[in-house]
Amino acid sequence: MSPPVTDVAVIGLGRVGLPLALSFADRGLNVLGIDNDADRLGAIAGGRMPFKETGGDELIERVHAGGRLRTSDQVTDAADADAIVLTLGTPSFSHIEIDMSDIRSVLDDLLPLLRPGQTIVLRSTVAPGTTEFVAGYLERKRGLRAGEEIFVAHAPERIAAGRFLEEIDSLPCIVGGVGEASGERTARLFEVFDAEIVQTTPVQAELAKIWANIMRYTTFALPNLLMMDCEQYGANVFEVIDLVNRDYPRGGLAQPGFTAGTCLRKDFAFSEERSNAPGMLLAVSRVNESVPNFLVQGMKRRIDGGTLNGAKVAVLGLAFKRDTDDERDSLAHKLVRLLERELADVAVHDPHVASPTQPLDATLRDADVVVVAANHSEFGMPATQQAIAALAAPDALVVDPWNCLGSGQVFAFADELALIPGTESSHQ
């Protein structure tokens, strides 16, 4: 018996591609998912999510039972599909140059096999002009004219980690097609979801996604810089933020914290590469990237002897954001490396991530310093504050840029902590 017609192939089954592939299949499409990670493919074949996604376990169970998702480790198998969606990683080189090698590699694999009438959708974040580049590449290498013989579009992924099943039906879906027909074909593909389809040009779709991330990256750099200014002037950052925001119609200053993640940390480079104001976004990056070192230097100024050599430092959290298992580009890892360079004895606890960490009790026991590096819900609960008081050294320094513990201080001592029930960071 021949396999069913493939409606859509999703190349890349990471945190963007897998929920999308599952959701397409859940809406009745025959889907082929392609990835080169054998462990990930094995988990999917067994009906298991390889990472956390709210509602993901139930979704993959339904799809697995329905048999509408097949997997492969061969990019060329995607050529059988009517539509091909690329959800590849899109890194930048360290010297602020976009790395398009993964996209070109996939295109090169598919070139001999593509046929007129197919639709190719870029779902990943890409630099301005990339969608037009793909269209031109296909025409130059295969003679397939975009918008007439083959249909190319950018439909950027804008969904937050952990919110896919909610936001795939609620966030407007931006479609930037190379030609009207490309936009129409891509819209028909994504119309299986309930979200509004917004048609635009390819470059405007690219800019919309890039600048959504740049806006968040910059928004969170401001309170981080304020936190450093407050340290310089002996002020309390949380009190200053309250003064800025309280009953003020032009307030809205966010809370400080670790601003990172695989998107925010790199996506500014898509604009910086050809910027008319070179260095502006690099300065934003430098603010956010300097937070771990700022905290380490603050520890040294407050700990007895002014050195972390031999001190036990408990780090709570490795994920890059609240209540996720995603550690990619997390600044918590940078913090750990900086502490190790100070010859500190570092113990780490995170209840969400896949990386092995220690239990909370073992991490906190006899700690000279406790750092809240991720604003997980668990760390804002009374049990965590009570565990710090019971297990850490009596004069332990507690470093909490998120204000998870509710002390209202970035640097406090364990005996000064006063937990405020329900306190949550707005930095999500």
Lowest-confidence range among 48-52, 278-282, 400-404? 278-282
Domain ranges within the chain, ordered by starting residue: 8-209, 223-416
CATH of 223-416, one of 3.40.50.1580, 3.30.530.20, 3.40.640.10, 3.40.50.720: 3.40.50.720
Confidence of residue 260 (pLDDT cuts 50, 70, 90): confident
- Cα distance between residue 255 and residue 364, in whole Å: 25
Confidence of residue 93 (pLDDT cuts 50, 70, 90): low
Give residue 91's pLDDT. Answer: 75
Reading the block at residue 115, the tokens are 């046929």
Confidence of residue 94 (pLDDT cuts 50, 70, 90): low
For range 338-356, the mean pLDDT? 97
| Non-local CB neighbours of 22 within 8 Å, separated by 6+ positions | 31, 56, 59, 60, 63, 69
Query: How confident is the model over 291-334, as pLDDT tens digits?
Result: 999 999 999 999 999 999 999 999 999 999 999 999 998 999 99
- Specify whether the CB–CB gap between 189 and 256 falls below 8 A: no
8-209 has CATH 3.40.50.10490 classification: no
Whole-model pTM? 0.90
Query: How confident is the model over 109-161, as pLDDT tens digits?
Result: 999 999 999 999 999 999 999 999 999 999 999 999 999 999 999 999 999 88
pLDDT at 345 over 80: yes
Confidence of residue 90 (pLDDT cuts 50, 70, 90): confident
Residue 167 burial class via C-beta count within 10 angstroms: exposed 0-12, middle 13-18, buried 19 and up: middle
Confidence of residue 95 (pLDDT cuts 50, 70, 90): low
Confidence of residue 418 (pLDDT cuts 50, 70, 90): very low
For range 47-54, the mean pLDDT? 94
Q: What are the φ/ψ torsions at residue 8 (nearest 5 degrees)?
A: -150, 140
- Spatial strand order of the sheet with 397-399 comes to 345-349, 312-316, 369-372, 397-399, 411-413
Pick 94 or 288 by higher pLDDT: 288
Pick 351 or 421 by higher pLDDT: 351
Give residue 3's pLDDT. Answer: 62
The mean of the pLDDT values for the chain is: 92
